Amino acid sequence: MGGYLFFHFKAMDTLLVKISTYFEQKSVQYGVRLETIIVEGRENTSARDVAKVLSARKGTSLFDYDVHLLREKLVDLPWVRSAIVQRRFPSTLYVRLTERRPIALWHHQGKTHLIDDQGKEIKAPELSKYRRLLKISGEDAPQYAPQIVTTLQPYSYLKKRLTGAVLNGGRQWDLLFGKGLRIKLPELEIHKALEYVADLMKKGYLDNPGIESIDVRLSDRTFFYLNQEEAKKHQVSFLQKKG
């Protein structure tokens, strides 16, 4: 005749705790205890933050450390994209971090935000060390930042003079150079437009401070917009030639 097996859960919990404590004591006794912590891949994440998450104490049992929970806590740190945490017997806790890569500074509503290579913000307290990154603006600029940064990568000559990029309507970028020169890029075939702009710049055609902006959004024509002073010069020159 079959019977039922009943558990008294409180008593069961107590038993499990005793077994766990006994096991940990034995693991320490037989040398399975923490002696070394190896952390790889840490560049921007502070050592203090990692140590705080691990809360490791030398000589404790390796089984004291829940590697899955530690991984989740490490991923919550601002710079960490992913983490691997392993017990390496008999005495090592191994941590491998993959950090997020900063690519741009987003200026929005009077504040500056650090953007990573997936278009997400990095909550970094100190931004001064990243001042050489591309400065972007526009409502949806972070989302498209990886794309424009990758697109500009081959054009080192342009990048040296580039001071910023503005996304308009979530579709089209304006590039900012020097002391106010703005170049309007097309939505498509950006590489052709950039090659053309780079060629103009190398030949010195864009060195005239009177040029305010250049529109290369159309493949068969280019529009140059001059400031008032420069426009008056050209108007006078035109009238003189006409006279």
The CATH number of whichever domain residue 213 belongs to comes to 3.40.50.11690
Peptide bond before residue 90 is cis, with ω within 30 degrees of 0:
yes
Which CATH number characterizes residue 72's domain?
3.10.20.310
**Torsion on CA atoms 133, 137, 139, 144, rounded to nearest 10:** -40
Supply 202's token pair.
Answer: 């190398």
What is the domain count for the chain? 2
Q: Flag whether 3 is in a domain.
A: no
Q: Are 180 and 67 found together in one domain?
A: no
Helices 67-75, 47-54: crossing angle, 10 deg rounding = 150
Q: What is the pLDDT of residue 31?
A: 56
Out of 1-5, 32-36, 92-96, 161-165, pick the least confident: 1-5
| Residue 238 sits in the same domain as residue 157 | yes
| In a shared domain, residues 122 and 133 | yes
Range of the domain at 184: 102-242
Same domain assignment for residues 114 and 175:
yes
Q: Are 91 and 143 part of one and the same domain?
A: no
Higher pLDDT, 239 or 64: 64
Measured CA distances, 98 to 39, 101, 116, 149, 241 (Å): 11, 9, 13, 21, 66
What is the reported pLDDT for 102?
97
Residue 230: per-residue pLDDT:
67
Cα 235 to Cα 204: distance, rounded to the nearest angstrom: 22
Q: For the stretch 147-159, what's the b/e string if a residue is b when 16 or more beta carbons lie within 10 angstroms of its beta carbon?
A: ebbeebeebeebe
Q: Is there a single domain that holds both residue 35 and residue 134?
A: no
Q: How far apart (Å, rounded) are the C-alpha atoms in residues 57 and 161?
A: 51
Q: Pick from 53, 84, 99: which residue ends a domain?
A: 99
Shared domain for 68 and 116, answered yes or no, is: no
